[in-house]
Amino acid sequence: MMHKLLVFRRESQFTQKAANASELKKRQEVIYAFRRIHKAVRCTHDPLELLFIADFALSSTTKGVIVECGAFKGGSTSKLSILSRLLNKELHVFDSFEGLSEPSAAEKEDAGFTGVAQTWQGGQFAGSLAEVSNNVKKYGFIDKTVFHKGYFKETMPTETPGQIAFAFVDCDLVSPAQDCVRHIWPKLQPGGRLFFHDVIFRKFSEGITDFAFWQTHLKEPPPVLWGAGYGCGDMAPNVGFFEKY
Ligand SMILES: C[S@@+](CC[C@H](N)C(=O)[O-])C[C@H]1O[C@@H](n2cnc3c(N)ncnc32)[C@H](O)[C@@H]1O
């Protein structure tokens, strides 16, 4: 459980980064909207993790849309949709809307260096398209949100947008995350970031940085995974990212 004082301190730092009055207004709006969403919608991310991503997004001038892979009930989706409005970018949301795909025997269990361990099951974390879109309508901004229903390996090869500014992948399992990397990385614009939840898990971090996977599908060595094993500080303890130079 995150300490209230820590949340307050990190939120204050988030607003202090504003360069001018209109930027300050935007950042305050993000904090209020994110607090409201986190209270109203069941989320699997920590309260400040999307604020960590928002901090990057609001300081970035990278062109392209926002992509989310893994929506659950639409808590992270609603937060990203607020950013889509403030940044005037489309938000593309990919999900089966039927929960996790069936994990392979190797994917069923994962554990991290911080003592965290998890077992995954097919169908876990299901949120229907109606649930997610209703939450976005109620708590976020639906006008620029585009939904792509289906397993990543079926939708992403043909439906991934051509220019991506940043993406948030939160699908727990290695092979779906690799599907996301294969299709997002080539479209990620210079200066963009590909964020992941779950980098505290060892198999997950190893899987998305696997040398043979990168050589085969992306014809380049894997980039640095910032946050591998330990996350990105107390604001984003489960989050890591690749940065495109
Ligand atoms: C942990 S939940 C996402 C949590 C959400 N981002 C949040 O912060 O509340 C994982 C999501 O990934 C989706 N998912 C997992 N494997 C998938 C696959 N192979 N194709 C499409 N969606 C998948 C599930 O349906 C689920 O919505």
Tally the C-alpha atoms within 13 A of residue 124's C-alpha that lie toward its C-beta. Answer: 13
The overall pTM is greater than 0.95: yes
Count how many Cα atoms sit within 13 Å of the Cα of residue 238 in the half-sphere of its side chain: 22
Question: Is residue 1 pLDDT above 60, yes or no?
Answer: no
Q: Is the CB of 170 under 6 A from ligand 1?
A: yes
Total Cβ atoms within 10 A of residue 8 = 10
CB 117 within 8 A of CB 126: no
From the list 156, 170, 191, 192, the residue with the least C-alpha distance to 71 is 170
Q: pLDDT (tens digit, 9 = 90+) per residue, 71-84?
A: 999 999 999 999 99
Q: Establish whether residue 194 lines the binding site of ligand 1, counting it when its CB lies within 6 angstroms of any ligand atom.
A: no
CA–CA dist 242, 196 (Å, integer): 9
Ligand 1 centroid to 154 CA: how many Å? Answer: 15
Å from CA of 69 to ligand 1 middle: 7
Instruction: Count CB neighbours of 211 within 10 A.
Output: 9
DSSP 136-178: HHHHS--TTEEEEES-HHHHHHHHS-S-EEEEEE---SHHHHH
* Mutate-to-test residue for ligand 1 from 41, 53, 96, 104, highest number of ligand atoms within 8 A of CB: 96
161 strand-pairing partners: none
| CB of 47 shorter than 6 A to ligand 1 | no
Instruction: For residues 32 and 38, give the distance between their C-alpha atoms in angstroms, rounded to a whole number.
Output: 10
- Give the Cβ contact number of residue 122 at 10 Å: 14
Q: Write the residue with the smallest CA distance to atom 11 of ligand 1.
A: 70
8 C-alpha to ligand 1 centroid (Å): 29
Report d(CA 207, CA 31) in Å as an integer. 33
**165-209 pLDDT tens trace:** 999 999 999 999 999 999 999 999 999 999 999 999 999 999 999
CA of 32 to the centre of ligand 1 (A): 25
Residue 114 pLDDT grade (very low, low, confident, very high; cuts 50, 70, 90): confident
Residue 113 pLDDT = 82
Q: Report CA(162)–ligand 1 centroid distance (Å).
A: 22
Q: Pick the residue whose CA is nearest to atom 2 on ligand 1.
A: 72
For the residues 117-143, what does the mean pLDDT come to?
Answer: 97
Summarize the confidence of residues 158-165 as an average pLDDT: 98
pLDDT of 2 above 80: no
The neighbour count for residue 124, using CB atoms within 10 Å, is: 13
Q: What is the 24 CA–ligand 1 centroid distance (Å)?
A: 32
Q: Are 18 and 29 in contact (CB under 8 A)?
A: no
Residue 34 scores a pLDDT above 60: yes
Q: Is residue 218 scored above 90 in pLDDT?
A: yes
Considering the chain, what is the average pLDDT of its residues?
97
Candidate from 37, 66, 170 with most ligand 1 atoms within 8 A of CB, to mutate: 170
